[in-house]
Copies of this chain bind each other. A is one copy, B any other.
Amino acid sequence: MTPSATPAYRRLSVDERRRQLLDAALSLFAHRAPEDVSLDDVAEAAGVSRPLVYRYFPGGKQQLYEAALGSAAEELQQCFDEPREGPALPRLSRVLDRYLAFVDEHDTGFSALLQGGSVVETSRTTALVDGVRRSAAQHICRHLGVLDPGPRLRMTVRMWITAVEAASLIWLDEGKQPPAGELRDWLVEQFVAVLTVTAGRDPQTAALVGALAGDGRD
């Protein structure tokens, strides 16, 4: 424990310090439920004093948690940083690889967040999680080359995203079995299967499924 800031730390800019504290908080939230992480723990993990943590997050634990969550949400968005070229399904697989790596890394914090019931869950944190879901749906539609998804396609994509979330939580619960690569392929196959079902009820989805099948051919 470093009870007060050392000269080395003083050299950090405000942004760097904020980043350092958020990283420390995120790694704690990754392995413990939010209600079990105190500002003292964050100060200790970052090797700084508690007053310093309070200076950056005067709203205390709730503010720190929301900031850490916001930072995790940004990281999640980066899963979708994938050039929009080449066949869509392999792109979706790479997105899922990054997503599962994120789930793997953030573990307990990820479960606590998605399962709710946390003492620090508020309408703001819920809105943040919903924002990530909405943005994921948009990213996926764009990767599929659909700019204006109709209600049936949109519902199918959103249902699949929820199913992927459920799969991640179960995956963590079951000791990360099956291996991430197998889970990824299974999830992509499920996506194609539910799109194919929707294709029977919706011409837009039928056109998309046709295009995806064409994608696969050399």
Contact = CB atoms under 8 A, between A and B. Distances in A.
B178 A189 contact: no
Given A159-B166, A162-B162, 6 more contacts: A117-B122, A117-B126, A151-B177, A189-B197, A190-B193, A193-B194
A165 interface: yes
A160 interface: yes
Interface in A157-194: 158-163, 165-167, 170-171, 174, 177-178, 182, 186, 189-190, 193-194
Contacts of A117: 121-123, 125-127
Copies in the complex: 2
Nearest to A125: B117
- The 3 A-B pairs with the shortest beta carbon distances in the complex, nearest first, are A117-B126, A162-B166, A193-B193
A123 to B, nearest CB: 4
A116 B163 CA distance: 17
A162 B171 CA distance: 14
Contacts of A115: 126, 130
Contact of A200 (B122, B130, B166, B189): B189
Interface residues on A, range: 35 or more
A119 B120 CA distance: 11
A201 interface: yes
A159 B160 CA distance: 9
Contacts of A182: 201
A174 B155 CA distance: 10
B162 A165 contact: yes
A197 B190 contact: yes
A158 B151 contact: no
